[in-house]
């Protein structure tokens, strides 16, 4: 009986494996759709096959207002979740004035996408809808749209209800009325070298400029009240950070090239040229994440903790100097991606204390006193058994050649 059950289960698994799971309900003229509502007769654009990123959409894709399937006409109202994601050959999508929703990740990592035009019918745009589309250089919203705008040819999408900039690009000029630079607004915009933030913006949301790898400088105006997590993460060429002296929440004291939260004394954003001032008590979560051109950092004695992923992927970091004799608090991911060959310099009397600290010793075996010169230990050569046999044989042969032959003693006998 057990054998029969086992064979039956195996057969079911085999049959299931032969089934092709499709993410789309039907296809018309090379565009794939899912039925959103049979009663409302609405449809959403989706991707082909069982997973996103394999639809093969490329060039210019035109989406019609309606499509027909099995004799029923459906109105196209949605660009679905991941519909065009990772379609690197996609240049632009012409959307009809029936589209009301552009879902999250709809155009994620469409690196060939150059233009975005939002029709007047769009009501919602999901998070990361255009994230990592670094070649976008033209963004326009139909002037009749009641929910979004791109006033004054600003090359951005701005949500009217709260004046939030939800999408920007390398040609964006942030309008003066914008209050918030939204979540991931410039995420992965690799071509953004400079950006001017007007003195009316109050919030720079999480991941706003994350991955703007050629952004060289930022100026934080007095109006800014909140800067989100990883707002400037992975901005590897960022070298100049200035906070307006009149800002009540943040500062960049002593021209330190960093953003410091005044109330907590926490450095929340750093860069390759940051000099951490005395008096800073903590380095915040992801403060230096992805700043790959950072080669050395000097951390004053006042710093007691470094947050999660604080120096994540700073893979060019070679020298870390700590002036606190008590091991600075870190977690298991604070220095992830930093080479273990980096040298950590600590006060002379604290070397053994840091070495005994499991987290510090796990990240960095090279912990020495400040002022001491690091001498890299060369690894002992590994000799295999075969090599040992060859060495032994050579040594033995050499010894035989070098040992002089013993002379025979001949006794002369005298005849009597």
- How would residue 318 be classed by pLDDT, with cut points 50, 70 and 90? very high
Single residue among 98, 133, 168 that ends a domain in this structure: 133
Domain span at 124: 20-133
* Any domain includes 210: yes
Report the DSSP pairing between strands 124-125 and 138-141.
unpaired
- Do 67 and 129 belong together in one domain? yes
**Is 406 inside any structural domain?**
no
| Span 71-115, pLDDT tens digits | 999 999 999 999 999 999 999 999 999 999 999 999 999 999 999
Residue 290 lies in a domain: yes
Same domain, 356 and 270: yes
Q: Of 110, 133, 156, which residue sits at a domain end? A: 133
Say if 339 falls within a structural domain. yes
pLDDT of residue 138: 96
Residues 273 and 309 in one domain: yes
Three-state secondary-structure class, residue 378 = coil
391 located within any domain? no
Alpha carbon of residue 3 to chain centroid: 51
Within-domain flag for 332 = yes
Q: Which of 153-167, 202-216, 335-349, 401-415 has the lowest mean pLDDT?
A: 401-415
Predicted pLDDT of residue 48 = 80
Q: Would you say 236 and 210 are in contact if contact means Cβ atoms under 8 Å apart?
A: no
CB count, 10 Å around CB of 326? 13
The model's pTM is: 0.84
> Three-class SS string for 86-118?
CCCCEEEEECCCCCCEECCCCCCCCCCCCEEEE
Q: Are residues 304 and 239 in the same domain?
A: no
Q: Which residue has the tokens 């296809």?
A: 27
369 and 284 within one domain: yes
Report pLDDT digits (tens) over 143-153: 999 999 999 99
Alpha carbons within 13 angstroms on the beta-carbon side of residue 233 total 24
The mean pLDDT value for 184-191 works out to 94
Instruction: In the chain, count H helices and then E strands.
Output: 4, 28
Instruction: Note whether 165 and 240 are same-domain residues.
Output: yes
Q: What is the pLDDT of residue 375?
A: 87
DSSP state of 205: -
CATH number for position 306: 3.80.10.10
What backbone phi and psi angles, to 5 degrees, belong to 9?
-65, -40
In a domain, 383, yes or no: no
Last residue of a domain, one of 94, 114, 133: 133
pLDDT at 18: 40
Residue-wise pLDDT for 115-137, tens only, equals 999 999 999 999 999 999 999 99
Task: Assess if residue 39 is contained within a domain.
Answer: yes
């Amino acid at each position: 009986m057990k054998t029969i059950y086992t064979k039956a289960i195996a057969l079911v698994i085999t049959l299931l494996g032969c089934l092709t799971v499709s993410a789309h309900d039907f296809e018309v003229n090379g565009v794939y759709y899912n039925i959103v509502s049979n009663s409302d007769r609405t449809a959403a654009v989706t991707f082909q096959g069982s997973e996103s990123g394999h639809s093969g959409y490329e060039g210019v894709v035109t989406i019609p207002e309606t499509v027909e399937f099995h004799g029923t006409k459906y109105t196209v109202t949605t660009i679905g979740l991941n519909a065009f994601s990772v379609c690197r050959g996609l240049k632009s999508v012409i959307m009809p004035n029936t589209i009301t929703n552009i879902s999250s990740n709809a155009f994620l990592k469409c690196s060939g996408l150059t233009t975005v035009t939002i029709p007047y019918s769009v009501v919602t745009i999901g998070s990361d809808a255009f994230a990592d589309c670094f070649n976008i250089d033209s963004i326009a919203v139909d002037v009749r749209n009641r929910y979004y705008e791109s006033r004054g040819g600003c090359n951005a999408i701005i949500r009217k209800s709260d004046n939030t900039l939800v999408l920007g690009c390398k040609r964006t000029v942030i309008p003066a009325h914008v209050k918030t630079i939204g979540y991931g607004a410039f995420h992965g915009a690799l071509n953004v070298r400079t950006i001017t933030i007007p003195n009316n913006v109050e919030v720079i949301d999480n991941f706003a400029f994350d991955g703007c790898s050629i952004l060289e400088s930022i100026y934080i105006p007095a109006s800014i009240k909140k800067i989100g997590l990883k707002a400037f993460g992975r901005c590897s060429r960022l070298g100049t950070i200035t906070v307006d002296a009149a800002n009540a929440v943040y500062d960049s004291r002593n021209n330190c090239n960093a953003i410091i939260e005044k109330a907590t004394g926490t450095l929340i954003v750093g860069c390759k040229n940051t000099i951490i001032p005395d008096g800073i008590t903590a380095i915040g979560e992801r403060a230096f994440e992805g700043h790959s051109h950072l080669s050395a950092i000097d951390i004053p004695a006042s710093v007691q903790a470094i947050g999660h992923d604080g120096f994540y992927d700073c893979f060019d970091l070679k020298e870390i100097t700590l002036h606190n004799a008590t091991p600075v608090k870190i977690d298991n991911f604070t220095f992830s991606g930093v080479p273990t060959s980096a040298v950590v310099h600590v006060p002379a009397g604290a070397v053994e204390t840091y070495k005994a600290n499991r987290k510090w010793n796990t990240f960095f075996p090279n912990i020495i006193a400040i002022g001491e010169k690091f001498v890299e230990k060369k690894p002992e050569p590994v000799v295999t058994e075969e090599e040992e046999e060859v060495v032994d044989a050579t040594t033995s042969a050499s010894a035989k050649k070098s040992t002089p032959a013993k002379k025979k003693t001949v006794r002369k006998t005298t005849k009597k």
